Amino acid sequence: MNSASLPPLPLPTSLEGVYFVTLRLRDALPESFSQNLGLQYYNRQVEIAQGPHRSEHLHMLRKVLFKRFDIALDLGKYGSSRLHHPLLAQIVADAIQELDGKMFDVLAYAVLPNHIHLLLDLHTSEASEPNALDIELIDCKALRASVDRLRNTLEQSLKIDFWQMESSAPPTTFHKHRSNGTIQSSGKIWHERSFDFPITTAAEFEKCAHFIFQNPVSAELTTHWQDWPYLFWKQ
């Protein structure tokens, strides 16, 4: 994508507390896929355990594995991909906008059929490190609290409309049958984990912004990012 075609996304005064966050629907990927990524993460850690700059190596390793994670999401081979429905995608976009300026600032986001990407500014100087045991986890209390609030808000915003649509569709992992044959909704809509990255440089910030704008195109949902209605950037 030509950088000249991108919208202006001002660089925050400070990058402390700025994170790239990815949330996915609960059934977007099989658990075996995440477990396989986790195993690759663990095996690589064993190799670099005694080496210098361990934190930087883990950060880079997570980026490499995240690419595989996001490609699998974009393929949409698993789960319901219900956010492809305009009504549900708009509910998610509106809920994100509603949280902007409260617990965090929303700098940019993209709503995709089975996941969302966001750039969030938490306005915190709390240190953050990749978790050695969980590839998707960043150890930062402020981030965890913000993502939990975001997920809970999206859960409540979607619940009624999501389950009404699910009840008219073939059973998925979100469904179980009552004894009389009717479908009963169960479980959560959003996966309890998110894949997050701290943004530490201006180049990294720009790269993540480019990624968010380009993702609907790379996922073959639209030809031009400008035509995707569920993109936002703060000007």
**Over the stretch 131-157, which tens digit does the pLDDT of each residue have?**
766 777 778 889 999 999 999 999 998
What pLDDT does 230 receive? 97
Residue 228 located in a structural domain = no
Residue 135 located in a structural domain = yes
CATH number at residue 72: 3.30.70.1290
Kindly give, in sequence order, each residue whose CB lies less than 8 Å from that of residue 3, ignoring residues fewer than 6 positions away.
210
Q: How many domains does the chain have?
A: 1
Q: What is the mean predicted confidence (pLDDT) over 69-75?
A: 94
What is the CB neighbour count within 10 angstroms for residue 225? 21
What pLDDT does 171 receive? 45
Q: Tens digit of pLDDT for each residue in 149-207?
A: 999 999 998 887 766 666 555 544 333 333 333 333 457 899 998 999 999 899 999 99
Which position has the token pair 């996922």? Answer: 219
* DSSP secondary structure letters along the chain: --GGGSPP-PPPS--TTEEEEEEEETTSS-HHHHHHHHHHHHHHHHHHTTSSSHHHHHHHHHHHHHHHHHHHHHHT-SS--GGGSHHHHHHHHHHHHHHBTTTBEEEEEEE-SSEEEEEEE-------EE-SS-TT-EE-HHHHHHHHHHHHHHHHHHHHHHHHHHTTS---TTEEE-TTS-EEE-S-SEEEEEEEEE--SHHHHHHHHHHHHHHHHHTTS-SSGGG-TTEEE--
Residue 229 located in a structural domain = no
Residue 29 located in a structural domain = yes
pLDDT higher for 165 or 65?
A: 65
CB 68 within 8 A of CB 61: no
- What is the reported pTM? 0.84
Query: Which of 2-16, 31-45, 104-118 tops mean pLDDT?
Result: 104-118
Q: What is the mean predicted confidence (pLDDT) over 112-117?
A: 97
Kindly give, in sequence order, each residue whose CB lies less than 8 Å from that of residue 204, ignoring residues fewer than 6 positions away.
none
What pLDDT does 61 receive? 85
CB 110 within 8 A of CB 212: yes
Residue 232 located in a structural domain = no
Q: At what angle do helices 54-75 and 31-48 cross, to 10 degrees?
A: 160
Residue 168 located in a structural domain = yes
The whole domain housing 40 covers 3-223
Distance CA 118, CA 142 (A): 16
Residue 85 located in a structural domain = yes
pLDDT higher for 69 or 34?
A: 69
Residue 115 located in a structural domain = yes
From the list 217, 219, 234, the residue with the least C-alpha distance to 2 is 217
What pLDDT does 8 receive? 74
Which position has the token pair 């393929």? Answer: 75
